[in-house]
Homo-oligomer: A and B are copies of this chain.
């Protein structure tokens, strides 16, 4: 029934290749099927000015998409002179989600910038960015621990994300673009390694959904995120 032939609860193949660029303190290329996102983490010695003197650290994120990551070329935001509302919404979500896994006292007064750049898009780029962004963050934080800059681990839990939706009347897991563009209702579920929720965004463009449907999607998401966390562990341990 699904365009890809997957079962309702079947994820796309997950691949996380680490240390893919020589400059970044942490990096990975995450592939969720045909969605490929390059994630890098940059450690900056200074926290944003609103934290000056607080002793607290910060994690922020930026998101971009190469012009031909998509089926038809999308205009380069740098040429357009601004980031779209969609881009800003996504990068705010990534940053907020990753901060939920951070002990900002243990991080100390510094900032980690996670850049998520979509090389190829096939749906679910924001979720892949969160899952991959956490891996880049993990690797960068490892450097802080190894060099003794941080003495206790500021990363208190895994953070991973998955999109699920109602496609052709059925709840399905890990939407690809063909499903996403047809789904009346879909949601992004960001969770921790211990199964707690960080953020839930469910939306029905031109439609509505029930609490039962919401719960079905949450069930799918919980199972899927467990797989994602396992992949994060395999890549970083």
A residues neighboring B (CB under 8 Å): 21-24, 27, 34, 38, 40, 42, 44, 62, 64, 66-71, 73, 76-83, 85-89, 91-92, 96, 99-100, 102, 104, 113, 115, 117, 119-121, 187, 192, 196-211, 214, 218
Contacts and interface: CB of A to CB of B under 8 A. Distances in A.
Contacts of A38: 66, 119
B204 A68 contact: no
A24 B67 CA distance: 10
Given A68-B115, A88-B85, A202 B197 contact: yes
A66 B21 CA distance: 11
A69 B21 contact: yes
Query: Taking the full assembly, how many copies of this chain does it contain?
Result: 6
Given A68-B23, A115-B67, A210-B196, A85 B76 contact: no
A65 to B, nearest CB: 10
Contact of A218 (B85, B199, B211): B211
A30 to B, nearest CB: 15
Given A113-B73, A197-B202, A62 B67 contact: yes
A125 to B, nearest CB: 13
Contacts of A85: 83, 85, 88-89, 91-92
A101 to B, nearest CB: 9
Contact of A196 (B80, B201, B208): B208
A68 B120 contact: no
B192 A199 contact: no
Given A76-B64, A205-B96, A200 B197 contact: no
Contacts of A89: 85, 88-89, 92
A200 B198 contact: no
A145 to B, nearest CB: 20
B64 A78 contact: yes
Contacts of A23: 68-71, 120-121
A66 B63 CA distance: 10
Contacts of A79: 62, 83
A92 B100 CA distance: 25
A206 B199 CA distance: 11
Contacts of A92: 85-86, 89
A71 to B, nearest CB: 5
Given A66-B115, A82-B81, A120-B22, A204 B208 contact: no
